[in-house]
Each structure stands twice: as structure tokens, then as C-alpha cells.
């Protein structure tokens, strides 16, 4: 029986290893790596006691702990689990297939261009004046819960309006602006802050907030640094730093067109 090892066993081992890798990466990003290690040690002990040593009493007790512990872990890590499941389900290929059946691709591309340029020009102006800004562009994942943390504006995308909102004496200056469906939906919004250790230390709270929202959904977060005036973009948990206006326009055009 020990040597009865086939292709299904190889696939089984590969899938379990892949699942453990993704869980490990999720726990590492959420600063819960020690919890993951503790869970793995308990699972190994449980398998050793119940399957190898065949201790029925201790094995049954650990079985009950496992069944109750799964529910406890779901409650404890519900936000991380939601993020993990979203990552599994957010495939760009599905959106690309849907766009193939769209009959107004040229019109959509032109409208995207018209809504992107005011954002690019506003970021360029804010960058020259070293005025801090944080703009989040919604894509397939709704950001209604984030918008509700700020002030609802519901206005057309306008360069001067963006500059006025992020003016240093503006009450909405410190929050994030949410752009949804080619409109400025809200400003002064609160974003989840990333605790990733991979973010350079010289980047401030705006960059951590931009990273946080880009890790949780497919939104595009644009940051203008108040210290350096540098323009950055966070997409899918990764930064693109020190962008020119042309590069920013290119990124937004490509990403919003997907």
C-alpha cells in the first residue's frame, strides 16, 4: 500500500501545498504568521495522535477542538478570509471575455480618456505645489462602504475641483477621494492601512492607505506625496513610484481599459 502512488496523489500533494502557500502568504501579510505556525503545529500533532499513535481518547478530544476551532478562526480572521476569497475570484480574463461582447468599446475608450486627463493634470499640478493627495479609482469592486466614511460629492471629474478638495486648508484634504463611474463620488474617505513590511520606510501614511485598498480590491490608488511631490500608483498590492504625467496617463488608460 505504501508504494501505491499515482498521478492523483501527486496532484493531491500539489494542491495541498499550493493551498498552504497561499494561506501562509495571507497570514504573513496580515501579521498573523505566528498564528499560522501555531495552527500547523496543532494540525500535525492532531494527525500524529489520531492517525499514527491511534490514541482514541486524546484523538477524539482534539477532533472536537478542530471542529470548534475552525468556526473560531472564521470569526477571528473574517476580513482576511474575505480578502483571500476575493483574490481567488478576481480574474482579469473574465472581464476581458465580457469586453469582447461589448459593442461600444471605442466609445468607452474615449470616455475613459476624457475622465482620466483631468485626474492626470490635477495630479501634475498638485505635484508641482507639493500638495498631498490620495485618489482611488473604482473598477469592478464597489467601494460604497469606503465612500460612506467620507463626504458624498457626486460631481463630474474636474481638474480644479480635485485641486480644491486637496488644497492644504481644505477640510477634506487628509482623506481619500473616491472616483466611481466617471464621477467624483466622495472625498475625505478613510481607507484600510496596509501593514506590509515590504513598503519602503520613507513612504508615509497615504502610501500605506493606497497599498491597503489595492490589496483588498482591484481599485487603482494614486498618491501625490506632500514631502517630495512624487506621484505613485498602487495596483494589486504593488507600487509604481516616481511617475511622470505621461506614465501616469498610460497606466490609468491601460488599467481602466481592462
- 8-state DSSP, 185: E
What torsion do the CA atoms of 42, 44, 47, 50 make, to the nearest 10 degrees?
A: -50
Binning the chain into helix, strand and coil, the percentages to the nearest 5 are 55, 15, 30
Instruction: Report how far Cα 56 is from the mean position of its chain's Cα atoms.
Output: 44
> Is pLDDT above 60 for 187?
yes
Do residue 113 and residue 24 come from a single domain? no
Answer whether 131's CB lies under 8 Å from 224's CB.
yes
Residue 148: the pLDDT is 92
Do residue 231 and residue 177 come from a single domain? yes
And the C-alpha cell for 87?
A: 483574490
Residue 54: the pLDDT is 77
Closest CA to 158 of 125, 195, 118: 118
Residue where a domain stops, chosen among 37, 56, 89: 89
Instruction: Report how far Cα 14 is from the mean position of its chain's Cα atoms.
Output: 26
> Is pLDDT above 90 for 224?
yes
Do residue 180 and residue 238 come from a single domain? yes
What is the CB neighbour count within 10 angstroms for residue 187?
Answer: 26
Q: What is the CATH number of the domain that holds 135?
A: 3.40.1700.10
And the C-alpha cell for 77?
A: 480572521
Write out the residue range of the structural domain in which residue 61 sits.
Answer: 7-89
Do residue 20 and residue 138 come from a single domain? no
Do residue 105 and residue 217 come from a single domain? yes
Do residue 245 and residue 204 come from a single domain? yes
What does the radius of gyration of the chain's CA atoms come to, in whole angstroms?
23
Cell 506621484 identifies what position? 231
Residue 1: the pLDDT is 46
Q: Which pLDDT tens digit goes with each residue over 93-130?
A: 545 555 555 444 444 445 467 789 999 999 999 999 99
Burial of 39 (0-12, 13-18, 19+ CB in 10 A): middle
For 192, the 3-state DSSP assignment is coil
Do residue 248 and residue 134 come from a single domain? yes
- 121: in domain: yes
Q: Which pLDDT tens digit goes with each residue over 120-177?
A: 999 999 999 999 999 999 988 889 889 999 999 999 999 999 999 999 888 888 899 9
How many domains are there within the chain? 2
And the C-alpha cell for 248?
A: 501616469
Do residue 117 and residue 226 come from a single domain? yes
- 2: in domain: no
Residue where a domain stops, chosen among 65, 89, 113: 89
Amino acid at each position: 500500500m505504501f508504494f501505491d502512488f499515482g498521478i492523483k496523489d501527486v496532484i493531491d500533494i500539489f494542491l495541498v501545498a499550493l493551498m498552504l502557500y497561499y494561506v501562509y502568504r495571507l497570514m504573513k501579510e496580515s501579521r498573523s504568521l505566528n498564528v499560522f505556525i501555531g495552527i500547523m503545529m496543532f494540525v500535525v500533532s492532531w494527525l500524529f495522535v489520531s492517525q499514527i499513535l491511534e490514541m482514541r481518547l486524546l484523538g477524539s478530544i482534539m477532533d472536537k477542538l478542530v471542529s470548534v476551532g475552525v468556526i473560531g478562526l472564521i470569526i477571528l480572521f473574517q476580513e482576511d478570509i474575505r480578502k483571500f476569497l476575493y483574490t481567488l475570484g478576481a480574474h482579469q480574463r473574465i472581464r476581458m471575455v465580457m469586453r469582447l461582447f461589448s459593442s461600444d468599446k471605442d466609445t468607452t475608450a474615449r470616455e475613459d480618456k476624457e475622465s482620466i486627463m483631468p485626474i492626470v493634470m490635477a495630479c501634475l499640478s498638485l505635484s508641482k505645489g507639493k500638495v498631498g493627495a490620495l485618489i482611488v479609482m473604482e473598477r469592478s469592486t464597489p467601494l460604497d462602504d469606503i465612500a460612506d466614511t467620507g463626504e458624498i460629492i457626486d460631481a463630474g471629474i474636474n481638474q480644479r475641483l480635485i485641486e480644491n478638495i486637496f488644497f492644504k486648508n481644505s477640510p477634506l484634504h487628509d482623506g481619500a477621494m473616491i472616483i466611481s463611474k466617471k464621477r467624483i463620488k466622495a472625498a475625505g474617505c478613510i481607507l484600510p492601512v496596509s501593514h506590509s513590511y515590504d513598503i519602503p520606510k520613507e513612504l508615509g501614511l497615504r502610501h500605506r492607505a493606497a497599498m491597503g485598498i489595492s490589496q483588498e480590491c482591484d481599485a487603482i490608488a494614486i498618491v501625490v506625496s506632500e514631502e517630495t511631490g512624487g506621484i505613485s500608483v498602487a495596483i494589486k498590492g504593488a507600487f509604481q513610484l516616481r511617475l511622470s504625467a505621461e506614465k501616469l496617463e498610460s497606466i490609468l488608460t491601460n488599467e481602466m481599459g481592462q
